[in-house]
């Protein structure tokens, strides 16, 4: 049944080519006929579906990268004030530690002076 359909399609293409006065050689007709055989149609369908799935996957990966980049930008924007505050607190902590050391030193000197 499918072979008959394939042959009819080949014949129609050949007639169409002749009607347009395009040269069609027998080799081209044989290749078309081979491609239209059921076993080759299955292969063509598998390749087409696989290619489609591959392109869909590539598209998803691209979208995923875009989403990750957008999330990264948003997080960076939201974390910027927190990062600045943390830097300020670290500087303040260092300053307080320095003052603490100086006070500890003064306390030891004053205690040492009292014991004399």
The reply to whether 15 falls in a domain is yes
Query: What tens-digit pLDDT sequence spans the chain (116 residues)?
Result: 566 666 666 666 666 665 555 555 666 666 666 666 666 666 766 766 666 777 676 777 777 777 778 888 888 888 888 888 889 999 999 999 999 999 999 988 888 776 65
Question: What's the structural domain count of the chain?
Answer: 1
The reply to whether 41 falls in a domain is no
The reply to whether 2 falls in a domain is yes
The reply to whether 18 falls in a domain is yes
DSSP code per residue over 6-26: HHHHHHHHHHHHHHTT----H
* pTM greater than 0.85: no
**DSSP 8-class letter at 37:** S
- Can you give the residue range of the structural domain that contains 13? 1-36
The reply to whether 28 falls in a domain is yes
């Amino acid at each position: 049944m499918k072979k008959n359909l394939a042959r009819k399609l080949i014949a129609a293409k050949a007639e169409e080519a002749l009607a347009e006065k395009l040269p069609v050689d027998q080799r081209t007709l044989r290749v078309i006929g081979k491609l239209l055989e059921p076993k080759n149609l299955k292969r063509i369908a598998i390749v087409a579906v696989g290619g489609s799935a591959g392109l869909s996957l590539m598209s998803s990966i691209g979208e995923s990268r875009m989403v990750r980049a957008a999330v990264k930008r948003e997080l960076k924007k939201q974390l910027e004030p927190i990062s600045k505050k943390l830097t300020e607190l670290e500087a303040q902590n260092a300053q307080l530690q320095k003052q603490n050391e100086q006070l500890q030193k003064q306390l030891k000197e004053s205690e040492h002076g009292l014991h004399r």
